[in-house]
Amino acid sequence: MLRKIAICAAAVAGPLFTGASASAQDHPAAFFSAIFNQSGSSSGRPQENPVPRETVQYSSRFAPGTIVISTKERRLYYVLGNGQAIRYGVGVGRPGFTWAGSKAVTRKAEWPAWTPPPQMLKRRPDLPRHMKGGPDNPLGARALYLGSSLYRIHGSNEPWTIGQAVSSGCIRMTNADVTDLYERVRVGTRVVVMN
């Protein structure tokens, strides 16, 4: 029986790592559901977004277009300016996997593929070496790649994990929310993560 855990689909416990290549293979959706589901509903079915997206008052020193993530609040703010931001609920790193700092979005991808890094495979040798993008992929509908790290802001096919500390450092959003953010963000956007 597979251990039920929730992991970031791409990141590991440190901010800077190199990726690994592996041959592509297909894996059943049920396999990934068992691996990535830790805190689902009692029925096992996805729930609506527990933290709806909304425009809020937000005074900060950050320029419009900056992404600010509060790990403590488990919220992501997209700064609009004029004292406002769009606030999204996010899933963050579990204890021991949180991080803080400033990065830039270096790449954007729709329905990204996933290759677990060597550090994650060491902890979880049962994981696939590669998974093509699509609805069953744990990176979800969109991914924003952060600097030279393996951390991502990415979608999730597990909306019940939003507002939870469940990943290995990546920032999870519902697929609807990450798609909304993806359309607003350009490569080069500053991302500030605060504990």
Residue 16 lies in a domain: no
Statement: residue 4 has pLDDT above 80: no
| Strand duo 190-194 + 165-167: pairing | unpaired
Rg (CA), the chain: 16
What is the structure's pLDDT at 64? 97
Domain span including residue 127: 29-194
φ, ψ of residue 61 in degrees (nearest 5): -85, -5
Q: For the residues 69-89, what does the mean pLDDT come to?
A: 97
pLDDT for 49 equals 67
Q: Flag whether 49 is in a domain.
A: yes
Query: Whose CA is closest to 150, among 7, 9, 11?
Result: 11
Alpha helices of 23-151 — where are they, by DSSP H? 29-36, 118-123
Give me the pLDDT at residue 38, please. 36
Beta bridge mates, 115 = none
Q: What are 9-36's pLDDT values in tens digits?
A: 444 333 332 233 232 233 333 333 333 4
- Higher per-residue pLDDT: 57 or 41: 57
Q: Is residue 3 part of a domain?
A: no
Q: Considering the domain boundaries, does residue 5 fall inside one?
A: no
Within a domain: 158: yes
Instruction: Check which CATH number belongs to the domain holding 67 and give it.
Output: 2.40.440.10
**Residue 3 in tokens:** 């251990």
pLDDT classification of 103: cutoffs 50, 70, 90: very high
Residue 117 has a pLDDT of 83
* Total tally of structural domains belonging to the chain: 1
Residue 101 has pLDDT above 90, yes or no: yes
Residue 115 forms part of a structural domain: yes
Query: Phi then psi for 121, rounded to 5 degrees?
Result: -65, -30
As annotated, the active-site residues are 154, 170
End-to-end CA distance of the chain: 35
Query: 88 in a domain, yes or no?
Result: yes
Query: Has residue 21 been placed in a domain?
Result: no
Q: How do residues 159-195 score in pLDDT, each as one tens digit?
A: 889 999 988 889 999 999 999 999 999 999 999 999 8
Residues ≥6 apart with Cβ < 8 Å to 45: none
Q: What is the pLDDT of residues 110-150, one digit of tens each?
A: 999 988 888 888 888 998 888 898 888 889 999 999 998 88
Tokens of 86: 């769009």
